[in-house]
Amino acid sequence: MSIKTNVIINYLGYVIDKMRIGELAYKAGVTPRTIRYYESLGLIGPSERQGRGFRYYTQVELAQLQNINALKGLGLSLEEVRSVIELYLNDTMVLHGKQKVLAILYSHLRETEEKIEALQQFRSKLQNNIAKMQKFIEQTQS
């Protein structure tokens, strides 16, 4: 039996019903539009489609959405999420996926530190220019 069947039976033997997009969106804390967008990017997919094209999802897709949101919460862009999501979800030890996420986070940290340094230099220049302008105004008014 594959994971993508009408009903999924988890390891405890409980039956997990399929959900429509609105219910999945509600449970994941996103909008149906977000889910469709993630589908267009290949980040998730419906477990199945039936009838008039209705999308049906399971706990598997809910878990994928929760992982995507967690990765985004760490500061990863959707492109970066796409590069690690399969490793993150399918790596049985999850080690390789987490190592790749960690490398991306270190990259973000370096970029952030560079931006902070540039902002501190800009702040210093602004403070100097403000001081010069105040001194000029004070001298002109005297």
Domain housing 126 = 91-142
Regarding whether 4 and 67 lie in a shared domain, the answer is yes
pLDDT at 2 over 90: no
* Residue at a domain's end among 42, 76, 110: 76
pLDDT band at 115 (very low <50, low <70, confident <90, very high): very high
- 8 or 96: which leads in pLDDT: 96
Please compute the mean of the pLDDT values over residues 79-89 and round it to a whole number: 80
Q: Is residue 12 part of a domain?
A: yes
CATH number of residue 7's parent domain? 1.10.1660.10
Please compute the mean of the pLDDT values over residues 110-135 and round it to a whole number: 95
Total domains in the chain come to 2
Longest dimension (CA), the chain: 89
- Give the tens place of pLDDT for each residue, 16-32: 578 889 999 999 999 99
pLDDT band at 94 (very low <50, low <70, confident <90, very high): low
Regarding whether 65 and 123 lie in a shared domain, the answer is no
Tell me the CB-side half-sphere exposure of residue 32, using CA atoms within 13 A.
Answer: 9
Query: Is the pTM value of this prediction over 0.95?
Result: no
pLDDT at 5 over 70: no
- 61 or 11: which leads in pLDDT: 61
pLDDT at 73 over 80: yes
The whole-angstrom separation of Cα 83 and Cα 93 is 18
